[in-house]
Amino acid sequence: MDDRIPDAAPASAARRRARVDPVTRDTAKSLLDLTVVTLAVTAAYIVRFERIPDGELGVQMLVLTLALPLARLLAGRVSGTHRSSWRLFGLSEALVLARAVAVVSGLLLLSRGLMPALVPSVHPIPFGVIALEGCLSLVGLLGLRVGTRMLDEHRARRSVPMSRIGGPRRALLVGAGRAGRMAVRELRARPDAGFSPVGFLDDDPARVGQIIEGVPVLGTTEDAARIALETSAEMLVLTIPSATHAQTRAVVERCRPSELPIQTVPGLYELLGGKVGITTIRPLKIEDLLGREVVAFDETAVTRVRRAFAGRRVLVTGAGGSIGSELCRQIAELDPELLILVDNHETHLFDIEQALIGQLGERLIPCLVDVQQATDVAMVFAEHRPQLVFHAAAYKHVPMMQLHPTKAVSNNVRGTRLVAEAARRFGTERFVLVSTDKAVNPTSVMGATKRAAEMQVLSMEGPTRFSAVRFGNVLGSAGSVLHTFARQIEAGGPVTLTHPEITRFFMTIPEAVRLVLQASAVGEGGELFVLDMGEPVRIVELARQMIRLAGFDSDEIPIEVVGLRPGEKLHEELLGPGEDARPSPVPSVWVSPSAPPPVDDLQEWLARLEEAADAHDADGVLQCLAEGTGFPAPLPRDCTDPGGRIDGADALTSSRSAATP
């Protein structure tokens, strides 16, 4: 990792460094190394004999003083030590340097052993001189590099304008493991990060009292309040990126009495992605506490996905939405021939285009198209002939679709049919429908229309391999419960909840999309893939955690139960009647043969459903959905709760502005 901070240095200093010719810099470093080794040879003889030797030993010292520095310089060139940056000198570079020094010292020992037999008239090099010279050379060469790095870091710290970063904040680091060590080193090398480590907290009693990278381990997380007061700490930084969400929650609870704001280094998945570093410290998010644990894929799985997308033409509908935009970002990393973005929202389409244009350039094709328009959809497929299609375009907010059932059918059912038919007509190889757990035993219009879309896609035949991927709520999607709660907390509360026992499955958007891509790579057609969502989360616990993360308690921001709303379930399901999931080749993804539709003639039923939507016949739509999906019918238009079952963890306020993913 390159932790230089050119932006933190004054422009004049940057220009001075830029003017140093690489050859000149390399020559200067070589001369310094030669000087150090020359002094080490001389010092070794003086220390060994307690004087400057004369006679034969004096000649020997002179020869070694001339030859040994050149030998060590050559060994350094062979081992590559000359290519390392002194300003970024670290442990790995030190080991390379030590090996180069040891090689030359080993050759000296070998020559010392052979010299009496080969050249008996020449005084052998004393063992003490060999040992002393090796040690002194290593110490001197290391000292040059360490000193250069320390000087550079000191200069960098002085060059960072305090007005720009507001002065370094005194931070207690929670976790004195490998990540904690890295964080201390990098924070010292990155003064622009604005953090000054004052101590560690670690729950391993054996570490308490130790000094890690010059920073003491002052106690455990149980002592957070006392240590925060003693050190005048201003914040806590979690340096445990490999911790599970449950472990992170436990640590946060133990540290809460300190009343300090809590931030964290990126998680392991973010660090492995290579886009952030250990010093990219950010506020703790609810995703860090309640998200699903990241699934690690082996090299075979990664290769399979890359092979499925590299050099292919990929189309994503709903490309500007929460799921669609993350699909586009991850697909862009897989080197597609074309990535076709389809969305009917101009601003969202523009945003995702701008996010990826620098990466894909002319291989990125934005299409402002409504999937409900057959002609427009066909034109996109005819022009670009996509080989892979991900259909993520849908109306998804449960309460809104309760009020507009005909619109839900037009977008979620007709839109899916038009895109799927275009895929089959124009030779698409794979078609993947992004579905939802609300399609299982649906009690809402949105869930029923998504179930109808699943039935439509999984019944299609032809050379195109059609499949659907079903998962639960994603943390942080547009209009989700996180946004609703955050808005209510910012307004001073109360946070409104429909039912104290309501639960939902949650996972982060990147993880959900990663699993979708994995499932799409192994689909053979006709499969319903179900993502393993882990354990359901109580929404009241989600509300409490968000209130605490915002720095409040339940007395300051109360939680208010406002009653159930139409179409809401108390608990979501991932599998319906007749759906028997079995393991797939992808970890944490199950595959199920879709249950047969409850109607005899699926296509006739779907046609009647669309006809009712075209006629703006809301009651006809509701009756038809009930006939084909088991949706409770008739659904009164006065929003009476159907059957006492509740849903909508993502629409938890009583107002119509509450949103669901």
Predicted TM-score (pTM) above 0.85: no
pLDDT for the residue 464: 94
State the SS3 of 125-175.
CCHHHHHHHHHHHHHHHHHHHHHHHHHHHHHHHHHCCHHHHCCCEEEEEEC
pLDDT recorded at residue 566: 66
- Bridge partners (DSSP) of residue 197 are 171
Highest mean pLDDT out of 34-38, 52-56, 295-299: 34-38
Q: How far, in Å, CA of 384 to CA of 340, rounded? A: 8
Token pair of 173 as six digits: 């680091």
Region 25-37 average pLDDT: 82
- Which residue reads 């991932």 in tokens? 574
What is 331-392 written as a DSSP string?
HHTT--SEEEEEES-HHHHHHHHHHHHHHHGGGEEEEE--TT-HHHHHHHHHHH--SEEEE-
Q: Across residues 17-38, what is the average pLDDT? A: 75
Tokens matching residue 91: 């442990």
Q: What is the pLDDT of residue 372?
A: 96
The DSSP 8-state label assigned to residue 298 in this structure reads P
**Which range has the top average pLDDT, 148-162, 280-294, 432-446, 508-522?**
432-446
The pLDDT score that the predictor gives to residue 421 is 96
Lowest mean pLDDT across 13-22, 119-128, 604-613: 13-22
CA 280 – CA 241 distance, rounded (Å):
12
Question: Which part of the chain has CATH 3.40.50.720?
Answer: 165-284, 299-629
% of the chain surpassing 90 pLDDT: 25
Give the pair of three-digit tokens for residue 513. Answer: 């999309």
Q: If pLDDT is split at 50, 70 and 90, which confidence band does 415 have?
A: very high
CA dist., res. 169 & res. 299, Å (int): 41
**Pick from 413, 360, 450, 478: nearest CA to 609:** 413
State the pLDDT at residue 314. Answer: 97
How much is the average pLDDT of 279-289?
A: 66
- Reported confidence tier of residue 15, pLDDT bands at 50, 70, 90: very low
- What is the predicted pLDDT for the residue at 288? 67
| pLDDT score for 633 | 58
Please, which residues have CB within 8 angstroms of residue 249's CB and are 6 or more apart in sequence? 289, 545
pLDDT: is 18 or 34 the higher one?
34
Is-cis flag, bond preceding 634, omega within 30?
yes
Least confident window among 3-7, 537-541, 648-652: 648-652
Q: What is the pLDDT of residue 210?
A: 85
pLDDT the model gives residue 648: 31
- Residues pairing with 446 in the sheet: none
Give me the pLDDT at residue 656, please. Answer: 32
Confidence band (pLDDT; 50, 70, 90) for 270? Answer: low
* pLDDT attached to residue 406: 95
- At 457-477, the pLDDT tens digits run 998 888 999 999 987 777 766
Calculate the average pLDDT of the chain: 79
- Can you give the pLDDT at residue 612? 95
Q: Write out the two tokens for 284.
A: 């703790």
Comparing CA positions, the residue from 618, 531, 392, 485 lying closest to residue 609 is 618
Return the pLDDT at 498. Answer: 78
165-284 CATH fold: Rossmann fold (3.40.50)
Query: Where does 299-629 sit in CATH, by number?
Result: 3.40.50.720
**Residues in contact with 542: Cβ distance below 8 Å, sequence separation at least 6, in sequence order:** 286, 290, 481, 485
Quote the CA–CA distance of 15 and 71 in Å, as a whole number: 35
Q: Encoding tokens for residue 262?
A: 């809590």
Longest dimension (CA), the chain: 113
pLDDT of residue 294: 58
382-396 residue pLDDT tens: 999 999 999 999 998
Q: In whole angstroms, give the CA distance from residue 169 to residue 574.
A: 46
Q: Is the pLDDT of residue 229 over 60?
A: yes
Angle at 522 between CA 521 and CA 525, to 5 degrees: 105
Residue 292's pLDDT band (boundaries 50, 70, 90)?
A: low
Q: How do residues 583-630 score in pLDDT, each as one tens digit?
A: 777 777 878 876 556 666 888 999 999 999 999 999 999 999 988 887
